[in-house]
Structure 1
Amino acid sequence: MLTVSSVNVNGVRAAGPKGLTAWLAATDADVVCLQETRARHEDLPAALLAALDAHGWHLTLAPSGAARGRAGVAVLTRAEPEAVRIGVDAAEWADAGRYVEVDLPGLTVASLYLPNGTVGTPRQDEKDRFLATFAPYLALRREKAAAEDREVLVCGDWNIAHAEADIRNWRGNVRNSGFLPHERAWLTELYGAGWVDVVRGLHPGVDGPYSWWSYRGRAFDNDTGWRIDLHVATAGLAGRARSAVVERAATHGERWSDHAPVTVRYAS
């Protein structure tokens, strides 16, 4: 089996001592995609680096060069990547810490941190520009992968809940970024073009499983969450998915991020 996990860590320096480092030491994943790392190489805690080295992880980090302490993505692999690519072929996102992909034998795995918008602000404009750029990038990536007989997996915080089943309080969020009609339509078009939402395929017809819960109120305790941390794959790889779980903390106090790892096992 090939096991791939993805999690938005909400700041790797903060998450490390709260449980991230221990989780990385214990996981049996072959690949881990991290988002919102908020750190450059020189900022990474020594304890985290020591744990990665001790457990045989190869780190590919793509921090935000423009806004230090924001965004940032990474991919951890047991095997050394054959190639690494950062950004999505557009100047605005070349050094934004939003996307990185690595090549493994027969497989490209990417870590994505799609911008989180706010309606009526420049942040939503930024998110919409990214969507406009990212869709054609993925189309080209899928075509290239097919020509190379290679599968592609894009894991990460997509910051869009696609359907009502992907957000507990969908009625209260129909005008909020992350559940806007044009954002949901963008995902629908992506799936119609051949990409597959792996977790939904393994959990059809149910609410969730949610992967993000606000720190405010009792959202976590009441499971008032969003399913926005996705494994989006080419059809061949999606067809090999055997199980998908959200590694939800047992209690609110044991959380080390407002997201939980989403782990999928694929047949080799």
Structure 2
Amino acid sequence: MKFISWNVNGLRAVLKKNFLEVFTALDAEFFCLQETKLQAGQVALDLPNYYQYWNYAQKKGYSGTAIFTKKKPLTVSKGLGITEFDQEGRVLTLEYEDFYLVNCYTPNSQDKLKRLDFRLQWEAAFSDYLTDLASQKPIILCGDLNVAHNEIDLKNPKPNQKNAGFSIQERQAMTALLARGFTDTFRHFYPDKTGAYSWWSYRFNARSRNAGWRIDYFICSNALLPQVKDSQLLPEILGSDHCPILLETDELN
């Protein structure tokens, strides 16, 4: 089975570029989007054989997540069940017999870490949410988690140590989450691979120089690892400042 995750940085924008061609070519059972930046009714996608699920932010043109899937879920839930965190359309969860699929767009700590306190409160609540789900059945978490976990995960670690996405607090939160029984699947398969990034600034020709960050993830419950076959970044696919990422697994129900 194939899972794709992609921060499209505005679905309406990427629809004018190459989204439908990429979507068709990848032919995934699950296609998860972050930062859709739209409200209900603003796009009508004709995706034969796919169920469509959306979680919109209350603020127009901001945040938002979606999942398009060939497999109808048992249940669908939006958010964490906490009002202060559920106004920005950041979490979408599908339940299946064998697993939960959680699509997430983690809040950015912003310039000078001005939203770091909110981010860390989010991290604690989200970690509890995932742990609760995982106590029922294994999970697959994907999305833009807005953190480069280790120095290998970004081109220029030293000058970014106090910047959003690479602060010690955010990195510690990721370490703490993984310690709860989860695995970063890309690093599971490619522990020492350098130059592997999923996001590049639009400034300074960052993408052409591959001066990027790996902030998009497939994370799974440790119990699912034997059924995970590969985890890849797809930097050759353009259209957003992020590239899609791929998870391949055995058949799951």
- Equivalent residues in 2 for 1:145-160 (5 A)? 145=137, 151-160=138-147
Aligned residue for 1:18? Answer: 17
Structure 2: distance between partners of 1:95 and 1:61:
13
Q: Select the residue among 127, 130, 133 that pairs with 1:138.
A: 130
Aligned residues: CA RMSD: 1.5
SS in 2 for 1:60: strand
TM-score under structure 2 normalisation?
0.94
Question: 106-115 or 89-98: which moved more?
Answer: 89-98
1:8 counterpart = 2:1? no
Aligned residue for 1:104? Answer: 96
Question: Cα deviations across residues 202-229 of structure 1 (Å, max 9, x unaligned)?
Answer: 1111224211111111211111111110
Structure 1: distance between partners of 2:189 and 2:60:
37
Aligned residue for 2:37? Answer: 38
Structure 2: distance between partners of 1:237 and 1:105:
13
Aligned residue for 2:248? Answer: 265
Aligned residue for 1:77? Answer: 69
Q: Select the residue among 177, 195, 198 that pairs with 1:211.
A: 198
Structure 2: distance between partners of 1:7 and 1:238:
22
Q: Tell me, yes or no, if the aligned pair for 2:197 and 2:213 is still in contact at 8 Å.
A: yes
- Equivalent residues in 2 for 1:84-233 (5 A)? 84-120=76-112, 122-145=114-137, 151-233=138-220
Structure 2: distance between partners of 1:204 and 1:172:
23
SS in 2 for 1:100: strand
SS in 1 for 2:67: strand
Query: What is the identity percentage for the equivalent residue pairs of Structure 1 and Structure 2?
Result: 31
**Residue identity matched to 1:7:** W
Structure 2: distance between partners of 1:120 and 1:219:
21
Q: Tell me, yes or no, if the aligned pair for 2:100 and 2:133 is still in contact at 8 Å.
A: no
Shift of 1:236: 2.1
Question: Cα deviations across residues 239-268 of structure 1 (Å, max 9, x unaligned)?
Answer: 322122212226xxxx21000110111122
Question: Cα deviations across residues 82-137 of structure 1 (Å, max 9, x unaligned)?
Answer: 11011112111223211011112312111100001125454333322211211211
Q: Select the residue among 192, 198, 221 that pairs with 1:234.
A: 221
Query: Which is helix-richer, 1 or 2?
Result: 1
Structure 1: distance between partners of 2:199 and 2:111:
20
Structure 1: distance between partners of 2:161 and 2:112:
14
Q: Tell me, yes or no, if the aligned pair for 1:33 and 1:110 is still in contact at 8 Å.
A: no
TM-score under structure 1 normalisation?
0.89
Question: Cα deviations across residues 28-77 of structure 1 (Å, max 9, x unaligned)?
Answer: 21101100001122011x4xx12x1x3x1111000102x11100001111
Structure 2: distance between partners of 1:162 and 1:121:
17
Shift of 1:8: 0.1
Structure 2: distance between partners of 1:154 and 1:29:
16
Structure 2: distance between partners of 1:187 and 1:110:
16
- In structure 1, the gaps of 5 or more residues are 146-150
**Residue identity matched to 2:239:** W
**Residue identity matched to 1:263:** L
SS in 2 for 1:129: helix
1:59 counterpart = 2:52? yes
Q: Tell me, yes or no, if the aligned pair for 2:3 and 2:246 is still in contact at 8 Å.
A: yes
- In structure 2, the gaps of 5 or more residues are none
SS in 1 for 2:102: strand
